[in-house]
Structure formats: structure tokens, C-alpha cells
Amino acid sequence: MIWLLLKRRALSAFNGLVSMKLWEFFIRLFFTLAGVAILVGLYYWFARVLRYLDGVQTIGPLLPWKLTSMALLITFSMVAISGLIAAMTTLYYSYDLKFLFSSPIPVRTLFLDKTIETAVYSSWTLGLVMVPYIIALGQVKGGTMLFYIYFLALMVPFILLGAAFGIMLSLALMYFFPTSRTRDAVWILGSLSLTFVYMMIRFVQPEKLSRPDTLEVVANYLNFLQAPTAPYMPSWWISRAMMGFLYGQYDKFLQYSALLFGSVIAAYGAMAYFSKWVYQRGFSGAQEGFRYGVKRAVPWTVERWLLFKGWLKGPEWTLLWKDRKLALRDVRYWSQLALIFAIVAVYLFSIRQLPVEGAAMKSLISFVNILVAGFVVASLGLRFTFPAISMEGRSLWVIKSLPMGMSRLMTEKFMLLSVPSMLIGVVLVGWSNLMLGADLFITALSTVTIIVVSLVCCCMGIGLGAVFPKFHVENIHQIESSAGGFIYMACCLAYLAAVLALEAYPVKMHFMDIIGHARWDMRWLSLCIGGLVALSAAAIVVPWKMGLKAIETYEV
């Protein structure tokens, strides 16, 4: 029976490839080539760091292995956290579970199918990132082709063990606390854990490893850490196995390889055996409804009070109240706040660490910083603004049946999302200017620009989100990674590049005026301002009109 379910997934993937349109094929090809380019860049960076570490006298040969065990330990931890978060959705809240549970499929078979799906979704990206590291390590250590083959082969049980930790924890939590609130708590704690790992990796400043003047300090520190890194964790097992293979200690290689494969067989075998009782209880508890006796009256919110007084009119405010209440109830939005905080903190920390001297250079960096801050705002828009229309999902027919146009729905989404988008952009640019000590002209220009950019990106996100809607998805990440998401990011980046190009002349004249070599040319300045206004207006109107037409003609 398990082969039938796996065949279903294979046929679904094949049908998706066959039915792919030409423009979708080229977009996927572009994403694939971009991913390969990133992996190649990671390989060269890993190779540079490992060569530096391997060249340290006395303990140099040990340092790459110490770094390898640490990197594998971080990877294992992130796979376990990702597996926990993915398991809560895949095992208990997938759309096809109600159909599969009603079919004559054994519970163990269904559990194994969903477990395989969880393990793949939660680990494939992290495992792929380790490939260039393994290649770089093999070249630095002089590994043969068998070294790469065995290392990649051992990565399979290593990754599966990380996912198994997360899956087993989700089974235990849902067995003892069979409620949807357990899922909410796991999402929040998992996002906080990923945020902590992300911030720690940045704050330890790993770029110092590639600087020769700091290698002696790193070597002295690691000299006291020659003991095994987490000897009871699979990260040390795989490191010790490959060290044994490279140095001819084949008994160690076979011992730790058998430990890896034996552990993964035992873990998944135990989960499959107990799933008949544990999984079914957790799934049943996850389908809870409203609690008896809970007050369900609509509270007197600000929007309702203003509508009651007659100070506000229009269904936009009712929709705004609905979306605001849904955001407060859905903990997935709460967990995203932790990731946003991490992005802002790491961004400001990176600005603070820039080795920039001189007032003019700091002001110039503040101007270029508009592009980076705009990219952060556009990326957040890809997560929140672009999927806004698609998140209406199967309830879109309710809104379309109301006596209102779809323009009001899009206006309400803009009212809800434009303010936080603008605030994040202003915080990034304003705090960066304060830390860099930018002059008044650059500070005012960058602040006004990021406000306009935030509003334009928000409009483009709503408009293009209506042009490329995906109402029937299980995960919001399927909306972000779609072809429409790529087009949205491409349009945002093109708009940012055009804005900086048009503002380059006023900034140039500003610096020339400071040193007394030139005066302002009002004709060119007027032309730049007119170009910025026309460009921003086009970036707002064109996607908005296209999205309005698409959503009005969409058949529910």
C-alpha cells in the first residue's frame, strides 16, 4: 500500500512537469540556475575558509574537522526544528488527510507516507547546502571520489535522523496534549528557535575566520576544544566516520556508519510501530472545534464603533476588522514577528560593523543603503503582501457575492499592510542613518524614498498577487515560491534600481556642492523628480489595474 501512495506522489509530480507552460519552465530554469550559482559561491567561500584553517601550524589539520562537526551539529539542530514545525502541519492538518483516513489504508502506511513527506520537506534545502561544504572539505583534505560518495551516502541517514527527532517530538506532544493549541505553541517556539540560531550565526561574525590576523586567536580557542563535539549526537558520528575513512581507520568508519544506519532504522521502525496508537489519537485531538460555553459575541472593536457612529462608511472597514481579527488569532503571523525582529537586528548589526570612515563616505553608504532596505521591504512583501489576495482562499465567493467591487477588497488589503511595511522601512533607514551619521540631505532623501518605495511595493504586491492568485494551497510558501512571486520580486528590484539611478544625479550634485566644485542644475533636478513621480505612478497604477481586472473576471 505504501508503494501505491508513493506512486501517487510520483505521478502528481510528473503531471505537474508535463502540464507546465513554457513561461513557467523558463522561470523554474532561472531559479535552478540561480540556486546553482549560489551553491558554487558557497563552495568557493567554504574552500577559502578551510584552506586558511588547514594552514595553521601544529593544529591546522584538526581545525577543519572541528568546524565540520560544529557545522553538522547546527545542521542537525535546524533539521530537527524544521521537522517539528513541518510535522505539525503535514501529519495533522494536510488537506488530503480526511480523504486518506476515510479510505481503506492502514494507519501505519498512512503515517509512513506522511513521515517521508515531512522528512523530505524539512531537510532537503539544508542537506543541499552541505554539498558544497563536503566538496570543499574533500579538496582541502585530499579526499578521493570514494570520500565524496561515502560522505554523501552517510548524509542520508544523518538528515533522516534529524527529521525523526522533530517527528517523534510532534507525536509525543500531540499524544499528551491532543489539541490545536499545541500546534500553535510549537509554531511559536520553533520560529523563536530558528530566530535564535539565525541571530547567533550572524553575531559570532563567521567572516573573521577568513581573516589571517584572527586565525591565531581561533586556533588557540579551538586548541582547548579537541574533545569530541557532542559525542552522542549523529553530527559527531558522521564526522568521526569520515575522519576514520580518510586516515585509514576503517574500523572506526564501519563502526560509526553502522551506528548511523542502525539508529535511523530503529527510529523509523519504532515510530511506525507505535503510530497505530499514537498518531490516530493526536490526529483526532487536532480536529477540535469550539469549546462549549465560550462567549462568541462580536466585540466592540474600534472599526465597529466608528461604523456605528456613522463616522466611517464602506465595507472596507468591515473587511479590515475581519483581517485584523484573523491575524490576531493565527499564531503563524505571531511567529513571523520573531523572524522580522531577527532580520531587523541582523541588518542593523551588519550596518554597525561596516568599516567606513569619513563623513562623505558614510553619507554615500546611507544612500546606497536605500537599495538594501528596499530589498528587505520587498522580501517582507513577498511573505505578507503578495499572498494577501490568495489567502482569502475558498471564501472568496463570499466576498464576491457582496454588493461591492473587488477594488474595495484590494483597497482594504492596502490599508492593512501599507502601514507596517512603511514603518519597517523607516526604522531600517532611519536607524542606519543615525548609526552612520549621515548628513541632513541624505537622511531626508533616504527617508522619503523608503516611504515611497514601501507604498509602491505594497501596491505592486497586492496587484500582482491578484494577477497570479493561488487559492488552493496547503502552505503559504507555495504562494511565495510561485512564478507570480518571482515576477513580483523582479518588478520590485527593477523599480528599486530605477529609483537609485534617478536619484544618483541629485546625490552627485549634493556632494559636488559640498566640496564647492559645482552648483545645482535645476533643469536636471526637475527632470529627475518628474521621472521619479512618473515611475512611481506607473508602478502603482499598472499592477493595480491588472490585478483588479484579473480578480473581477476570476471564476470562483
Between CA 190 and CA 188 the distance in angstroms is 5
The widest CA-to-CA distance across the chain, in whole angstroms, is: 83
CB 429 within 8 A of CB 370: yes
For the chain, counts of helices (H) and of strands (E): 20, 0
Q: How many CB atoms lie within 10 A of CB 186?
A: 24
User: What is the rounded end-to-end Cα distance, in angstroms, of the chain?
Assistant: 35
Cell 511567529 maps to which residue? 335
Q: How many CB atoms lie within 10 A of CB 44?
A: 11
- Cell, residue 115: 513521515
At position 204, the amino acid (one-letter code) is V
Between CA 314 and CA 308 the distance in angstroms is 12
Contacts of 371 (CB under 8 A, 6+ apart): 496, 497, 500
Please give the C-alpha separations between residue 244 and each of 46, 226, 249, in angstroms, as whole numbers.
22, 16, 4
CB 152 within 8 A of CB 128: no
Cell 532504522 maps to which residue? 265
The 3-class SS string of 463-508 reads HHHHHCCCCCCCCCHHHHCCHHHHHHHHHHHHHHHHHHHHHHHHHH
Would you list the domain boundaries of the chain? 27-286, 302-552
Contacts of 409 (CB under 8 A, 6+ apart): 319, 389, 392, 399, 551
- Residue 387 CA neighbour count, 13 Å, CB half: 20
Which pLDDT tens digits describe the chain residue by residue (556 residues)? 667 777 777 787 777 777 777 767 777 787 788 888 888 988 888 888 888 777 766 666 777 877 788 788 878 887 887 787 778 778 887 777 777 878 888 888 888 888 888 888 888 888 888 888 889 888 888 888 888 899 889 999 999 998 898 888 888 877 777 666 666 666 556 656 655 665 555 555 555 544 545 545 555 544 444 445 556 788 888 888 888 888 888 888 899 999 999 999 999 999 988 888 888 777 776 666 544 444 555 455 565 666 666 555 566 667 777 777 776 666 566 656 666 676 677 677 777 766 667 777 778 888 888 888 888 888 888 888 888 888 887 777 777 777 777 888 888 888 888 888 899 889 888 888 888 888 888 889 889 999 999 999 999 999 998 888 887 766 666 677 777 888 888 889 899 989 988 988 888 888 887 776 667 778 888 888 899 999 999 999 999 999 988 888 877 6
The 3-class SS string of 262-327 reads HHHHHHHHHHHHHHHHHHHHHHHHHCCCCCCCCCCCCCCCHHHHHHHHCCCCCCHHHHHHHHHHHH
- Cell, residue 120: 523530505
